[in-house]
A and B are shown apart, each in its own frame.
Chain A
Amino acid sequence: MKRYTYYIYIGCLTALLLSSCMKQVENPTVVQELPDIYPDYIDVTIPVGIAPMDFNMTDDEVELIDVVARGGKGGELHAQGAYADFDIDEWHALTAQNQGTDIRFTVSALKKDEWIQYQDFTMHVSPCPLTDFGITYRRIAPGYEVGGNIGIYQRDLHSFDEFPILQESAVPGQCMNCHTANRGSSEQFLIHLRGERGGTVIQTDGKQTWLNTKTDSTKANFGYSYWHPSGHYLTSSVNSIHQSFFVGKDKRIEVYDTMSDVLVMDVRTHELLLCPLLQTVDWETYPVFSADGKTLYFCTSKPCRMPAEYEKAKYSLCRIAFDAQTGTFGTEVDTLLSAATLGQSFTYPRPSYDGRWLMYSVTNFGNFPVNHTEADLWLMDLQTGKTRSLSEVNSPDVDSFHNWSTDSHWFVFSSRRGDGMYNQAFIASIDDKGNATKPFLLPQRNPKKFYHEMLDSYNCPDFTTEKVRFDARTAGRNCLDNQRIQVTLK
């Protein structure tokens, strides 16, 4: 007993010492304005268990920031330092305790030896949990032809931990396209590699299969791919992709196709299923399967002379039936959104996994929204066919590359709203009526330093249910071996 008393005494003394390290917010000047914080987390909606929403003051002259976070249902956190940095476990406990209600933040900043206290702001803790482990994405610097230090990574959304899945260093000299998982599965996904020893690697239940996807009867290797929910098929476009650069100062680059088709591959036999309606003289691309796997959505444009007529390439959003039992297609193509009628280009469709919504990109022209500052996210209600711009989410800059969480209550997308050059990953939730919440930037410890010094873009973010386990060393060996299974026509 005497020993325990001794420990309690030591503990109290340590706590006292630690608390005395914090400066008291004394006689602050209370201002009637919200704090100018980076990232802008004011009024965002977050899931329970998300990584701590650390933030900085945008003003570099602020020496110290003092933040008290109080939950509507109880719980309190106190952080003080150069930026607001919350303990992970305490933060998780606070969000869990306040699921479905708000956390109120009182921010005081010390500047020139004077404390300023701002109006409180809130973050809303969604009643819908985010059950996925994290997100995957490609990190790529803005080189246009040279791959550089490209890599596919995953980030635990509940902490700040990032793990590489495949980096260029493991597959020397190869450019890699994004990791495409079957509904965020960590067990079934593919990665396309470009370059001299390129190929498509499919991993199912830990086993890597390397494919050569170009055949004499198809126009190119697989491009933009998507899994059938059964896992037995995947659909892909085959594109001849090019890029040209603008000479003026407002636009940088236009990426375009000079031809493209859509096909389906039976993953079990590596046989291609071709459909004349998806192999026309028009340019079909961005194929995706519906949540029930019975419909194939894709985008299509009338061909034009590229790059001279780059502004004429406008893509309609279409669909065709698909029978997974027989591996056959419907006989008619429905046009959901007509580029000719609406005068815009509709690309990158992503159906929610609950079958309710279809999110897609809208640009003035072209099929590569990530380079269009006007690119916005739109939402179609698949029950009513009604569409609307997600204005509560969109920014004046690029918003694109969206994907759904596996429970379809959250979505992640990349946006250039930060500085106009580097894509960052944002997450937002969506309710049963299709109302989205204000998105929040992927949390980082000391986010201002992190994002201001980050020289990579977050490309094609997607959710992953579990941590992806991919043997990059085996992939490197397989890549160098150049042994590929040739896909064939059925």
Chain B
Amino acid sequence: MNILKKYGKVLLTIALAVAAWCFWALRYPQALAYHEQIQLFLFDYDFFMERLTTPAGIARYGAEFLVQFYNNLKLGAAIIAMVYVLMQIGVWRLGQRERDESRSVWYALSFVPVLLVWFYMGDENMKFTYVVALLMAQLSMIAYPAKQSAWSKILYAAVAMPMLHWLAGPVVMMLGLYVALKEVLDHKNYALASGAALYSVACIIATAPWVPYPLFRLFVGINYNINLYEVAVIHYIIMLAFVLVPLLIQHLPKLEGKRAQAAGVVATVAVAAMGGFAIPTAYDTDKYEVLHYDFMVRRQQWDKIVATAQKKNPTTPLTVASLNLALGMTGEMNSRAMQFYQNGREGVFPSFNMNFESSLMTAEIYYHLGLVNTAQQFDFEAMEAIPDNTKSARLLKRLAETNLINGQYDVAGKYLKLLQKTLFYKRWADETMRLLGNEDAINNHPVYGQMRRFQLEKDFLFSEQEIDKVMGQLVLQNSQNFLAMQYLLLLPQLEGNQQKYLMYKDFVQKTLNEKKP
């Protein structure tokens, strides 16, 4: 019992870190991969300065810096766990007026804001910028000279609030509210309280003429969510929680003896139960299933995709398309595709609907088929479909590859030079840079060489309505393009058109016979 009393707080914080790490590294690594692929962080002075030009730019820069490490999923999970711990400790630190052990019974309450953040992160569009901004706001609240003279406090607020707004965005309202409540509760200084609250809002309004965003965007946060115009209530609830919970801890009664023990246990169990039950509900199964399949496609884990599908049949066009691609890559499409749920042509070549995920998936399918130009088109669309207009390192890499295969070395070099300024793509970019203009090296490359051999020499306009013909042309172009053959044979199967299937099968057989060495 003594050990628990002595190390209870540390153990609870460690438990938070372990739970967070396991959650992100083992249960939802696809979420990390998703966030890593919709950003491009460059080690470049201009990149840094460009981030500084909008409110919350430093929070964004810091978040992007951290998110690039999601390339290593275990490290990414560790970063999130570390940030959670810092936030929780920050809440606790703010909640202590002085080192007062009698308030330790309420330690569990310091986890509430962090659990809310964890809950909100179930929205895959929530950006880590928001989390970093919250952390910065917490720091500004901790640094508030609450016990010093009124002039010190005024000076601090006058300088810190505009700075915080520019560096971290509308979380400045947290500082305004914190100062207001602190002054009312502790000093009954209503003038300073109301002044601080209004000033924090004024800081936001004052920047409006200088930035090209509607005013409401400045109150929502420009870079807090990928969907620029999404206003989630929880967004503000969390900001409130980071202000109110520390003040609540400060003003809850001091407890001692058995009452303290009981209250501590109840608070801990209640908070843990809240987190344990509520957080999983925030993670939409279908959305994360799509991200999981995309994650496996990106890593070319074809067998794993099939194994995953065997456990739970995918049903959405994107997941079914991933499965079909995996079956094709393992050479099992025509023997096994119909054993799984199919949703027609949408599950083979998902139609373009202006969003990132579908464009990306469709691009992957066309790329593996050798339709490099079509893949490039969808990669461009995917890049521009990222709602907050950032670029994607993953897509830039793929665009460099498609241009390399097409022999467009100037453009490929342009993308590679940008990737050379990243941490995790640099080595690949350096190696690939050596291929530029080296026709022999590209032709003999196991992937790019094959893509060149698969590419259609006879040029024509691509048509989704005539996808059978395109597959047929790919087979005619190169009889080693087994993926195209499988897709060609799958299409009539999905239509239930036996006659067409036999015709295509005959065509494939003839082509194979004619092209035999």
Contacts and interface: CB of A to CB of B under 8 A. Distances in A.
Interface of A: 141-149, 164, 167-170, 172, 244-254, 307, 310, 418-422, 449, 452-453, 455, 472-473, 476-477
Contact of B384 (A146, A421, A452): A146
9 contacts: A148-B389, A164-B212, A170-B213, A244-B462, A247-B371, A247-B373, A248-B455, A249-B407, A419-B414
Given A251-B459, A452-B417, A143 B383 contact: yes
Nearest to A252: B373
Contact of A143 (B373, B381, B407): B381
B385 A246 contact: no
B406 A249 contact: yes
A245 B372 CA distance: 11
Interface in B348-384: 352, 354, 359, 371-374, 376-377, 380-381, 383-384
A48 to B, nearest CB: 30
B360 to A, nearest CB: 12
A420 B354 contact: no
Main secondary structure of the interface of A (DSSP, over half): loop
Given A141-B380, A144-B381, A172-B229, A249 B372 contact: yes
Interface of B: 46, 208, 212-214, 217, 228-229, 352, 354, 359, 371-374, 376-377, 380-381, 383-385, 389, 391, 403, 405-408, 410-411, 414, 417-418, 455-463, 470, 473
Contacts of B373: 245-249, 252
B213 A169 contact: yes
Contact of A246 (B359, B403, B461): B461
A240 B379 CA distance: 25
- Smallest CB-CB A-B distances: 9 pairs: A143-B384, A148-B384, A248-B459, A149-B389, A419-B410, A244-B461, A146-B384, A249-B406, A421-B411
Given A169-B213, A419-B411, A421-B408, A148 B385 contact: yes
Contacts of A245: 373-374, 377, 461-462
Contacts of A141: 380, 383-384
A247 B470 contact: yes
B384 A252 contact: no
Contacts of B212: 164, 167, 169-170, 472
Contacts of A418: 410
A250 B459 contact: yes
Contacts, number: 115
Contacts of A472: 212
A420 B461 contact: no
A247 B380 contact: no
B385 A146 contact: yes
Q: Which of A164, A252, A472 has the most CB of B within 10 A?
A: A252
Contacts of B405: 249
A246 B459 contact: yes
Nearest to B386: A148
Contacts of A172: 214, 228-229
Contacts of B408: 419-421
A307 B457 CA distance: 20
Contact of B354 (A145, A170, A477): A145
Given A169-B213, A307-B461, A419-B411, A147 B374 contact: no
B380 A246 contact: no
Given A250-B459, A421-B408, 19 more contacts: A141-B383, A145-B352, A146-B359, A146-B381, A148-B383, A149-B384, A169-B389, A245-B462, A247-B371, A247-B374, A247-B459, A247-B461, A248-B456, A307-B463, A421-B403, A421-B410, A422-B411, A472-B212, A473-B208
Contacts of B418: 453
A468 B457 CA distance: 48
A244 B457 contact: no
A307 B473 CA distance: 18
Contact of B389 (A168, A246, A254): A168
B46 A449 contact: yes
Nearest to B455: A249
A366 B241 CA distance: 60
A126 B385 CA distance: 44
Contacts of B213: 169-170
B456 A247 contact: yes
Contacts of B372: 249
A473 B214 contact: yes
A449 B45 CA distance: 12
Nearest to A306: B461
B414 to A, nearest CB: 6
Contacts of A146: 354, 359, 381, 384-385
A245 B410 CA distance: 21
A420 B373 CA distance: 14
A75 to B, nearest CB: 31
Nearest to B40: A455
A247 B462 contact: yes
A140 B156 CA distance: 43
Nearest to A450: B46
B377 A253 contact: yes
B410 A252 contact: no
Contacts of A310: 461
Nearest to B209: A473
A252 B461 CA distance: 9
A244 B463 contact: yes
Contacts of A422: 411, 414
Nearest to B214: A476
Contacts of B463: 244, 307
Q: Which of A164, A251, A418, A419 has the most CB of B within 10 A?
A: A419
A455 B391 contact: yes
Contacts of B383: 141, 143, 148
Contacts of B376: 252
Given A247-B373, A248-B456, A420-B411, A145 B461 contact: no
Given A141-B383, A143-B381, A170-B214, A246 B411 contact: no
B211 to A, nearest CB: 9
Given A252-B373, A310-B461, A452 B214 contact: no
Contacts of B354: 145-146
Nearest to A476: B214
Nearest to A472: B212
A252 B414 contact: no
Contacts of B359: 146
Contacts of A144: 377, 380-381
B228 A169 contact: yes
B187 to A, nearest CB: 40
A252 B377 contact: yes
Nearest to A142: B380
A476 B214 CA distance: 7
Contacts of A149: 384, 389
Contacts of A455: 391
A463 B418 CA distance: 31
B399 to A, nearest CB: 9
A459 to B, nearest CB: 14
B406 to A, nearest CB: 4
A271 B470 CA distance: 47
